[in-house]
Amino acid sequence: MTAGVPAAGADLVLRGRRFGPEHPVVMAVVNRTPDSFYAAARYDDDGADAAVARAEAEGADLVDLGGVRAGRGPEVTAAEEIARVVPLVERVRRRHPELLVSVDTWRSEVARAAADAGADLLNDTWAGHDPALAEVAAERGLGVVCSHTGGLPPRTDPFRVAYPLPEGVPADTDPRDGVLIDVLDTLRAAAARAVGLGVPPESVLVDPTHDFGKNTWHSLHLVRRTAALVELGHPVLVALSRKDFVGETLDLPPEQRLEGTLAATALAAWHGARVFRAHDVRATRRTVDMVASIRGDRPPSRATRGLL
């Protein structure tokens, strides 16, 4: 480790491909939802196909396909979610064989259908609400994302959530670390269960899940303490893109949150996060590659200044 540089995060392995610190992983968001919080990310079938092609061209390693808005909205049945997502999984696998495919779902029946269609990763953003989802990942040889929602069920918003410090912590513990301790305990247990089921540790991602079950202060603190998440020993995924904590911090709508997102992304990357879920692929790719080079993990694409 270079002096003054935080420890690199764990390598990620999906479909036999290993990603180390020299190659930060950009996960492109492609939603088949008509009511995504970010209007620019709402795609019909043709739009989703074009978005996937554009994401690959701009440097995405992985696409995260979703069929249900994370927050409140009209009910979407499992059958409708499958109809929105699974044909897209099949097309991506056929048309973009080098692109890894993630499916953003909390339902095991959707996960199973996605696995049959060729998915590589199950992005469970609702913290094991359906325990069978991790079982699908183990049975089908897929990766899985373990998340933290503070106990909230799917598609609910936080309200006056609090994470007091548990009893027995050292007296000098930062009181803001209450949320970090809860996140670490939840992710540690979920990751251990996934590994116990048979998912390889390097294919178990941990996501602090900013905004979910958290207020803006909580999410800011978790960005600040990314290095503690890295110490769990699994690849860390951060989903920061245009989220409410960015918008509230800068008092900006989703359409104007890119700079704030990239600032948070750079900090998380510096502290060892491995996977970056993003709406803005090209900007994120350039940001995380630059951070990796500053850290000393990635050589410059060219370095001729002063040599020619």
Question: Is pLDDT above 90 for 241?
Answer: yes
Strand partners, 135: none
Question: Is pLDDT above 80 for 144?
Answer: yes
CA distance 156 to 147: 15
Q: Residue with structure tokens 């764990």?
A: 10
The token pair at 37 is 């919080």
pLDDT recorded at residue 23: 98
Rounded mean pLDDT of 161-171?
A: 95
Question: Is pLDDT above 90 for 126?
Answer: yes
**pLDDT over 70 for what percent of the chain?**
99
pLDDT recorded at residue 39: 66
Which ranges in the chain belong to alpha helices (H)? 45-57, 78-95, 108-117, 132-140, 177-197, 216-224, 226-230, 244-250, 258-270, 281-295
Look at strands 12-14 and 17-19 and give their pairing: antiparallel
**In this structure, what DSSP letter does residue 300 have?**
-
CA distance 190 to 179: 16
CA torsion angle for 56, 121, 105, 285 (degrees, to 10)? -30
pLDDT digits (tens, 9 = 90+) for 192-224: 999 999 999 999 999 999 999 999 999 999 999
Residue 288: CB atoms within 10 Å: 27
In the sheet that holds 121-123, the strands lie side by side as 204-206, 143-146, 121-123, 100-104, 62-66, 25-31, 275-278, 237-239
Rounded mean pLDDT of 225-243?
A: 98
Instruction: Give, for 162, the enclosing helix (H) or strand (E).
Output: none
pLDDT recorded at residue 90: 97
Superfamily of domain 22-295: Dihydropteroate synthase-like (3.20.20.20)
DSSP codes joined into one string, 215-266: -HHHHHHHHHTHHHHHTTSSPBEEE-TT-HHHHHHHT--GGG-HHHHHHHHH
pLDDT recorded at residue 43: 79
Rounded mean pLDDT of 97-121?
A: 98
The token pair at 58 is 């701009």
Strand partners, 205: 145
Question: Is pLDDT above 90 for 46?
Answer: no
- pLDDT band for position 1 (50/70/90)? low
Domain range summary for the chain, segments of one domain joined by +: 22-295
5: exposed, middle or buried (Cβ count in 10 Å: 0-12, 13-18, 19+):
middle
